Every structure is written in structure tokens, then in C-alpha cells.
């Protein structure tokens, strides 16, 4: 126990990495930590609420059964608004960016973009889900409401990014551009404790993660890459291993720890891919680069893409550097007709 460091202590300690830090970012990260605990509590009883709901006759459970992704959206928004470090948020659950109107919020210098509940199709089946967040310094003047340009910044401008994974244990993993650190939640203490210091993804891995049901609709280069994974034996007479949860956060987290690649390419029906650049791909790209890996849209570095729309999508290849390089090679060698 003596060496144990909590997330709160760590945030304060790391404030020294930023020479003129005012503590605003630390306070912002603390709001995220708080919202994560609240959402975690709700997720942990999601199954239970269903049992109770099924027994009851009338709809007294109505509020508890509010869709978890809307619940998470409200809790994160409320936590961010309450602490006055954020002037606005953009979220998967909101058509437009939300400006916080209080004067104190308008004096804030940060905006947050988020996917409040990632992997929603896994909520009902007790499989890991997550929250993804991305933080930028606003470009509009302090003291005014945020504008679209504050949210449409390229990923390399991110100040911090991270995710919460609500899994067999709950973890918060984040970066401020000085490496990646992971904290595991101890529910008995109500505290996140540093459990994964300075996380680095192996340069090569043996896991590939893709929804292979879409195989027929993949670009030729991706099909060839999958065949490469199936035909080669990187692990002593075993081909690469396929692992796909269907929650980006969970697939990413496993690959970060073990080495691997996550792919969501363009498909015939989704020519731009499925994942959203601003609140799914950019934060994960920032994290993976900080952990020594790569993130690409197949040709270009994700963090260099200049967004034009809040909810824009992009093909996404993220993980161990040698694996991402390999996919890029295949896409170049086998361009689609």
C-alpha cells in the first residue's frame, strides 16, 4: 500500500510537467474522474435494474432504465459544466456542440469532445463498454461562447485524451502528451489507483481485431492483410489471433496491453468507415502514439486530418507500429479498382 498513488495525487503531481499550469486541466480531469465513477455505478447495476423492472408492474423504474448512453452523456456534461474549466462540449449524443452559458464557463479555456458510452450494443450482455474523451484549448477568445472552430481542430492539437473502460474491472487511461498512464478503480475505496504506469504498446503484436462479417465489402488491401494474418505464423506454428469485442475501447485496451491492431476500414455501405474522427479516433490516436504505436486512415496519420464536420467518420487502423505500417503497405500495393 505504501507505494500506492491515486489518480487525484497523480494529476496534481504531473501538473509540474506544464510550466505555467494554472491547475485548470487538473481540475477538468477531476471532473472526468467524478463522472466516470457515477457512470460506473450505474453500469454495475444495469443488469439488476432490469431484473427489478421485470418484476414490477408499472413503470416506476422508468428513470433508472433511461438509456445508458444518454445517462452517461448527461452525467459527463453536468460534471464538466459544474467545474468551470470547460466552455462547451461536443458529444456523439448531441447533434450540435453544446455551449455552457454561465459566465464562468465562458471564461474557460477548454472544450471537450466525447463518446459518453462506447460499445452500446454490449450493454445488455455484460461485455466491456467505455467512455472516450478528448480535450482541446479553445481557439476563440476567452469570455465568449465557444464556436465551431473550437471543436474542429486537428487531433495533434489535443491537450489531453483518454478513456474509461467499464470491464471486469474499471480503469481510466489517459495522456496529456507525456506518456500514457492507467488507473484501476477500487470500488471499496471509491478511488482510481495507478496500476499501469507509462504504458507502451509492443512494436509488433499477434492480435488483429476487425468485424470480419464485413469481409466481402472491405477494400482489397484489407482483405489481403487479413489473409496475411491468417497465412503467417508469428507465434510458433500459430497464425495471428483474431479478437473482436465490438467496443472500440475494449478492443483498443486489450491491444494496447498485448500488442495488436484494430481495423475499421471503409466498407461499401460506409465509404468513410464507421468510427467518428473527433471523439473516437483522435483520442485513441493520441493515446496510441504516446504509447509508441500508430494510428492511420490507411494513408495518413489520423492526428493530421483536418476535420470539417463534428460527426465526420474515417477509416481507422490503430495499434502496434509494425502492424499499422503493414496494412498501409497492403493498401498501397492493392488499391481498389
Contacting residues toward Mn ion, per CB under 5 A: 92, 115, 117-118
Least distance between ligand AHG and beta carbon 104 (Å)? 30
Q: Report residue 67 as a C-alpha cell.
A: 438509456
Least distance between ligand AHG and beta carbon 293 (Å)? 17
List helix spans (H) across the chain.
Answer: 7-14, 24-44, 46-55, 68-82, 103-106, 148-151, 220-231, 248-258, 282-290, 321-333
Nearer to ligand AHG, 17 or 215 (CB): 215
User: How many whole angstroms from its chain centre is CA 221?
Assistant: 26
Q: Which does 274 bind (CB under 5 to 8 A by kind): Mn ion, ligand AHG, none?
A: ligand AHG
Q: Which does 84 bind (CB under 5 to 8 A by kind): ligand AHG, Mn ion, none?
A: none
Nearer to Mn ion, 174 or 225 (CB): 174
Partner residues linked to 261 by β-bridges: 208, 319
Q: Which does 79 bind (CB under 5 to 8 A by kind): Mn ion, ligand AHG, none?
A: none
Nearer to ligand AHG, 87 or 129 (CB): 129
Q: Report residue 252 as a C-alpha cell.
A: 483498443
Nearer to Mn ion, 86 or 117 (CB): 117
- How many other C-beta atoms can be found within 10 angstroms of the C-beta atom of residue 126? 11
| Nearest C-alpha neighbor of 77 from the set 61, 62, 103, 97 | 97
211 annotated to bind ligand: yes
Least distance between ligand AHG and beta carbon 118 (Å)? 4
Residue whose beta carbon is closest to Mn ion = 118
262 annotated to bind ligand: yes
264 annotated to bind ligand: yes
CB within 8 Å of 125: residues ≥ 6 apart: none
Least distance between ligand AHG and beta carbon 172 (Å)? 17
| Nearest C-alpha neighbor of 105 from the set 163, 20, 14, 31 | 31
321 annotated to bind ligand: no
The sign of the torsion formed by the CA atoms of 82, 85, 87, 90 equals negative
SS3 (DSSP) at 299 = coil
266 annotated to bind ligand: no
CB within 8 Å of 47: residues ≥ 6 apart: 126
Q: Which does 241 bind (CB under 5 to 8 A by kind): ligand AHG, Mn ion, none?
A: none
Least distance between Mn ion and beta carbon 135 (Å)? 17
CB within 8 Å of 17: residues ≥ 6 apart: 176, 178
Instruction: Give 109-147 as a DSSP string.
Output: -EEEEEEEEE-GGGGGGT--EEEEEEEEE-SSPTTS---
Residues that bind ligand AHG (CB under 6 A): 92, 115, 118-120, 211, 246-248, 274
Gap between the Cα atoms of 82 and 197, Å rounded? 30
Gap between the Cα atoms of 319 and 259, Å rounded? 7
119 annotated to bind ligand: yes
Gap between the Cα atoms of 77 and 88, Å rounded? 9
Nearer to ligand AHG, 121 or 232 (CB): 121
Least distance between ligand AHG and beta carbon 247 (Å)? 5
Least distance between Mn ion and beta carbon 82 (Å)? 22
244 annotated to bind ligand: yes
Q: Which does 247 bind (CB under 5 to 8 A by kind): ligand AHG, Mn ion, none?
A: ligand AHG
Give the annotated binding-site residues for substrate: 118-121, 211, 244, 262-264, 274
Give the annotated binding-site residues for Mg(2+): 92, 115, 117-118, 280
Give the annotated binding-site residues: 92, 115, 117-121, 211, 244, 262-264, 274, 280
Amino acid at each position: 500500500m505504501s507505494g500506492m498513488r491515486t489518480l487525484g495525487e497523480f494529476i496534481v503531481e504531473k501538473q509540474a510537467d506544464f510550466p505555467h499550469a494554472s491547475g485548470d486541466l487538473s481540475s477538468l480531469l477531476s471532473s472526468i474522474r467524478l463522472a466516470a465513477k457515477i457512470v460506473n455505478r450505474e453500469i454495475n447495476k444495469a443488469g439488476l435494474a432490469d431484473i427489478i423492472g421485470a418484476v414490477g408492474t408499472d413503470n416506476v423504474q422508468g428513470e433508472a432504465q433511461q438509456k445508458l448512453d444518454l445517462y452517461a452523456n448527461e452525467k459527463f456534461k453536468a460534471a464538466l459544466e459544474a467545474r468551470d474549466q470547460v466552455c462547451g462540449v461536443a458529444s456523439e449524443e448531441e447533434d450540435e456542440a453544446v455551449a455552457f452559458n454561465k459566465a464562468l464557463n465562458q471564461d474557460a479555456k477548454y472544450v471537450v469532445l466525447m463518446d459518453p458510452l462506447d460499445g452500446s450494443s454490449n450493454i445488455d450482455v455484460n461485455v466491456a463498454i467505455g467512455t472516450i474523451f478528448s480535450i482541446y484549448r479553445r481557439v476563440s477568445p476567452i469570455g465568449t461562447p465557444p464556436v465551431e472552430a473550437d471543436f474542429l481542430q486537428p487531433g495533434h492539437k489535443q491537450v489531453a485524451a483518454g478513456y474509461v473502460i467499464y470491464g471486469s474491472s474499471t480503469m481510466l487511461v489517459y495522456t496529456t502528451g507525456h506518456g500514457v498512464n492507467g488507473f484501476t478503480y477500487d470500488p471499496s475505496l471509491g478511488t482510481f489507483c495507478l496500476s499501469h504506469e507509462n504504458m507502451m504498446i509492443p512494436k509488433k503484436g499477434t492480435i488483429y481485431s476487425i468485424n470480419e462479417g464485413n469481409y466481402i465489402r472491405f477494400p482489397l488491401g484489407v482483405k489481403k492483410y487479413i489473409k496475411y494474418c491468417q497465412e503467417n505464423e508469428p507465434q510458433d506454428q500459430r497464425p495471428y489471433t483474431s479478437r473482436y469485442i465490438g467496443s472500440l475501447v475494449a478492443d483498443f485496451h486489450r491491444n494496447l496491453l498485448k500488442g495488436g491492431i484494430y481495423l475499421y476500414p471503409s466498407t461499401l455501405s460506409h465509404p468513410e468507415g464507421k468510427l467518428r474522427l473527433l471523439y473516437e479516433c483522435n483520442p485513441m490516436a493520441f493515446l496510441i502514439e504516446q504509447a509508441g504505436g500508430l494510428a492511420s486512415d490507411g494513408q495518413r496519420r489520423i492526428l493530421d486530418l483536418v476535420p470539417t464536420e463534428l460527426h465526420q467518420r474515417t477509416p481507422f487502423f490503430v495499434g502496434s507500429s509494425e502492424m499499422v505500417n503493414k496494412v498501409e503497405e497492403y493498401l498501397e500495393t492493392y488499391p481498389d479498382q
